[in-house]
């Protein structure tokens, strides 16, 4: 039904923010924690001591390193999102019922998460398709979700309600992850004879949680903007906006140079975050430590420390400036990559995770705010500027994931792939030196 609630209404704002509670379980359970561990256990052949005997997966008649295969699928999904995002942005701006598009991608992603229950090597194509569609559903639904913010909140309300959504997403995703972890570790207590069943049920719970809690959001959200007469240009409006912003950057040297630097180092940052769990599964000697518990603990550690990292980085940038702070963060990332190449024990992994959390939260928050400072003052098309930023970030992930997969496939070790990312941070650091110190 159409929402009778006026713009700025507290109930409407809370309903919008609650979608973060609904969808963030995908980011933690599927993208970061349970699924990567499940995929590693399914695709690796180990001896009784836990040593890897074979990490080869056959797909469509070709043999792949297991990490290479999942990185290629991830890259392909982000490439699709990069193409869809401007198209969907154009639709979101002009169609009369954007809520139906948001629902479609939400249900696509959630149902695909449920489909991961049947992930198996025998029907590998189906499992990878579900993984592919879940990623697209998550990111595409966010295009419409984010576009609602100026519709339902006044400018002075937007920062607060956006932060509330982030907080709800963190709390909700952690709650479900802990439930899933309890089922997996105490499967006997829950009456599961098959040790793998609780893990598969985690995927089902993720999809059900996502669909179920999103209904509160959909009940109160309006359909969208007033419907306008359809024109062919409306579909491609997002691409036209990106082209317009690119042309404007020719007259803004600082913004252009900064975006190039961000594009290079961000592809390394985002890729490392996506593959960190796979690295922990394949490269560490967990010994008597439960690998599932250890990896999930490290993921929670990263998220908690990232909040502190964002705060400390903000203080540092206020004192020393954005660009110098970003340079230091890139240097720290280089050190992390060098150290990660040598780690073999869980405690080394935890220590690395803590440092990663600090610089991850810092570099992500500071990169976006720095970009915002370089946008011309008084610009009316800030949404288009940030659409360009988001698409650049996703294309960077595509290149980063393909690079990671290729190096892992050629060298036979993902340690070399992590080492390879030092190159991106060095180039990013050098490019930051060329950015005028306006931020």
CATH number 1.20.1250.20 is the correct assignment for the domain at 252-439: yes
Q: How far apart are CA 131 and CA 115, in angstroms?
A: 9
With the CA atoms of 304, 307, 313 and 316 taken in that order, what torsion angle do they form, in degrees rounded to the nearest 10?
-100
Residue with the bigger pLDDT between 76 and 159: it is 76
CB 99 within 8 A of CB 224: yes
Q: Which residue has the tokens 């309300």?
A: 157
Residue 126, pLDDT above cutoff 90: yes
Long-range CB contact pairs, 223-226, < 8 A, 24+: 223/2, 223/96, 223/97, 223/98, 223/99, 223/100, 224/92, 224/95, 224/96, 224/97, 224/98, 224/99, 224/148, 224/151, 225/93, 225/94, 225/95, 225/96, 225/98, 225/151, 226/96
Identify which of 345, 346, 349 has the alpha carbon closest to the alpha carbon of residue 336.
Answer: 349
The lowest-confidence range among 97-101, 283-287, 423-427 is 283-287
Domain range annotation of the chain: 17-226, 252-439
280 — pLDDT class (breaks 50, 70, 90): confident
Query: pLDDT tens digits, residue range 323-348?
Result: 999 999 999 999 999 998 898 888 88
Question: 171-201: per-residue pLDDT in tens?
Answer: 888 899 889 888 888 877 777 777 778 889 9
Mean pLDDT lowest among 81-85, 130-134, 387-391: 387-391
What is the mean predicted confidence (pLDDT) over 387-398?
82
Confidence of residue 364 (pLDDT cuts 50, 70, 90): confident
Half-sphere exposure of 183 (CA within 13 A, CB side): 19
* C-alpha to C-alpha distance for 108 and 142, rounded to whole angstroms: 13
Instruction: Give the other-Cβ count within 10 Å of 197's Cβ.
Output: 15
Look at residue 1 and tell me whether its pLDDT is greater than 50.
Answer: no
pLDDT higher at 183 or 228: 183
For residue 112 the two structure tokens come to: 């695909």
Note the pLDDT tens digit of each residue in 289-319: 667 777 888 888 887 787 777 778 878 888 8
17-226 against 252-439: fold identical: yes
Cα 136 from Cα 354, distance rounded (Å): 29
CATH superfamily entry for domain 17-226:
MFS general substrate transporter like domains (1.20.1250.20)
Q: Stretch 39-62: mean pLDDT, rounded?
A: 72
How many C-beta atoms lie closer than 10 Å to residue 360's C-beta? 25
- Mean pLDDT value across residues 280-287: 76
Element holding 56 (H helix, E strand): strand 56-59
Predicted confidence band of residue 6 (pLDDT cuts 50, 70, 90) = confident
Pairing verdict, β 62-65 and 56-59: antiparallel
- Note the pLDDT of residue 439: 46
Average pLDDT over all residues of the chain: 82
- The Cα-based distances of 402 to 67, 133, 268, 271, 394 in angstroms read 11, 18, 11, 9, 12
Residue 85 has pLDDT above 90, yes or no: no
On whether the CB atoms of residues 88 and 140 are closer than 8 A, the answer is yes
* Max Cα-Cα span within the chain: 66
Residue 3 predicted with pLDDT over 50? no
Q: Are 3 and 99 in contact (CB under 8 A)?
A: no
Query: By three-state DSSP, how is residue 394 classified?
Result: helix
**Share of residues in the chain with pLDDT > 90 (%):** 21
Cα–Cα nearest to 421, from 326, 340, 349: 340
- pTM of the predicted protein model: 0.78
């Amino acid at each position: 039904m159409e929402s009778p609630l006026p713009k700025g209404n507290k109930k409407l704002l809370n309903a919008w923010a609650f979608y973060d509670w609904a969808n963030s379980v995908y980011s933690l359970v599927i993208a970061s924690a349970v699924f990567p561990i499940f995929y590693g256990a399914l695709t690796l052949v180990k001896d009784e001591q836990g040593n890897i005997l074979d990490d080869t997966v056959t797909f469509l008649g070709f043999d792949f390193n297991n990490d290479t295969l999942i990185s290629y699928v991830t890259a392909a999904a982000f490439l699709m999102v990069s193409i869809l995002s401007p198209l969907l942005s154009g639709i979101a701006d002009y169609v009369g019922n954007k809520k139906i598009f948001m629902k479609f991608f939400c249900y696509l992603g959630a149902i695909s998460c449920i489909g991961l229950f049947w992930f198996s090597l025998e029907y590998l194509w189906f499992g990878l398709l579900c993984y592919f569609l879940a990623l697209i559903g998550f990111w595409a639904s966010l295009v419409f979700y984010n576009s609602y913010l100026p519709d339902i909140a006044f400018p002075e309300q937007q920062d607060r309600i956006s932060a509330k959504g982030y907080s709800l997403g963190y709390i909700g995703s952690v709650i479900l992850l802990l439930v899933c972890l309890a089922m997996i570790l105490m499967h006997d207590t829950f009456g599961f004879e098959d040790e793998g069943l609780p893990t598969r049920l985690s995927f089902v719970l993720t999809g059900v949680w996502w669909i179920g809690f999103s209904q509160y959001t959909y009940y109160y959200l309006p359909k969208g903007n007033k419907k306008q007469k359809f024109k062919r240009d409306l579909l491609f409006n997002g691409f036209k906006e990106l082209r317009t912003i690119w042309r404007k950057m020719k007259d803004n040297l600082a913004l252009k140079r900064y975006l190039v630097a961000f594009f290079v180092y961000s592809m390394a940052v985002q890729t490392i975050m996506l593959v960190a769990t796979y690295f922990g599964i394949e490269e560490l000697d967990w010994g008597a430590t439960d690998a599932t518990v250890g990896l999930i603990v490290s993921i929670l550690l990263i998220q908690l420390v990232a909040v502190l990292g964002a705060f400390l980085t903000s203080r540092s940038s206020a004192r020393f400036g954005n660009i110098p702070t970003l340079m230091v963060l890139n240097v720290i990332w280089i050190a992390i990559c060098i150290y990660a190449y040598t780690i073999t024990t869980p405690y080394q992994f935890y220590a690395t995770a803590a440092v990663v959390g600090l610089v991850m939260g810092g570099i992500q928050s500071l990169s976006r705010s720095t970009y915002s400072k370089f946008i011309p003052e008084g610009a009316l098309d800030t949404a288009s500027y940030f659409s360009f930023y988001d698409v650049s970030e996703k294309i960077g992930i595509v290149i980063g994931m393909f690079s990671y997969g290729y190096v892992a496939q050629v060298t036979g070790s993902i340690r070399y792939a992590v080492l390879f990312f030092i190159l991106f941070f060095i180039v990013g650091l050098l490019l930051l030196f060329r950015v005028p110190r306006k931020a």
